[in-house]
A = this chain, B = another copy of it.
Amino acid sequence: MHNKIVILTDGYSTPFLAKTAISLLRYRTDDIAAVIDGAAAGSTAQQVLSAGGDVPVVASLADVADADALYVGIAPPGGKLPDEWRPMILEALQRKLDVVSGLHDFLTDDEEYRSAAEQSGAKLVDVRRNKHKSTATGHRFRKGCIRIHPVGHDCSIGKMVTSLEVQRGLSAAGHDAKFLATGQTGIMISGEGVPIDCVVADFVNGAAEQLLIQNEQHDFLLIEGQGSISHPAFSAVTAGLLHGCAPDGLIFCYEAGRTQVKGLDDFDIPSMKDQMAACHAMANLRHPCRFIGIAINTRNLTAEEADAELARAEAEFGLPACDVYRTGADKLVEACVALRKELGQ
User: Known contacts being A77-B135, A199-B200, A200-B201, is A236 close to B236, with CB within 8 Å?
Assistant: yes
- A271 CB → nearest B CB, Å: 9
- A60 CB → nearest B CB, Å: 31
A238 partner residues in chain B, CB cutoff 8 A: 239
A202 touches B198 (CB 8 A): yes
Give Cα distance in the complex from A9 to B205, angstroms: 28
- A159 CB → nearest B CB, Å: 16
Give Cα distance in the complex from A164 to B88, angstroms: 53
Closest to A205 in B: B233
A134 an interface residue at 8 Å Cβ cutoff?
Answer: yes
A196 an interface residue at 8 Å Cβ cutoff?
Answer: yes
- A140 CB → nearest B CB, Å: 9
A214 an interface residue at 8 Å Cβ cutoff?
Answer: no
Report A124-161 residues with CB < 8 Å from chain B CB.
Answer: 133-138
Give Cα distance in the complex from A196 to B77, angstroms: 20
A234 an interface residue at 8 Å Cβ cutoff?
Answer: yes
Give Cα distance in the complex from A275 to B284, angstroms: 10
A253 partner residues in chain B, CB cutoff 8 A: none
A82 an interface residue at 8 Å Cβ cutoff?
Answer: no
- A250 CB → nearest B CB, Å: 15
A236 partner residues in chain B, CB cutoff 8 A: 201-202, 204-205, 236-237, 239-241, 243
User: Known contacts being A233-B206, A239-B236, A282-B282, is A138 close to B261, with CB within 8 Å?
Assistant: yes
A274 touches B281 (CB 8 A): yes
A274 partner residues in chain B, CB cutoff 8 A: 281, 284-285
Identify A281's interface contact among B79, B104, B281, CB under 8 A.
Answer: B281
A258 an interface residue at 8 Å Cβ cutoff?
Answer: no
A281 partner residues in chain B, CB cutoff 8 A: 274, 277-278, 281
Give Cα distance in the complex from A200 to B199, angstroms: 6
- A107 CB → nearest B CB, Å: 16
A229 an interface residue at 8 Å Cβ cutoff?
Answer: yes
A229 partner residues in chain B, CB cutoff 8 A: 239, 282, 285
B197 touches A201 (CB 8 A): yes
B138 touches A235 (CB 8 A): no
- A106 CB → nearest B CB, Å: 11
Name 10 interchain pairs, CB-CB below 8 A, sorted by A: A79-B202, A136-B233, A200-B201, A201-B236, A202-B234, A202-B237, A205-B233, A236-B240, A239-B282, A278-B285
Please name 9 further chain A to chain B contacts, defined as beta carbons within 8 Å, in addition to the given A199-B200, A202-B236, A236-B240, sorted by A numbering. A104-B133, A138-B233, A198-B202, A202-B234, A232-B286, A235-B240, A236-B236, A278-B278, A278-B282
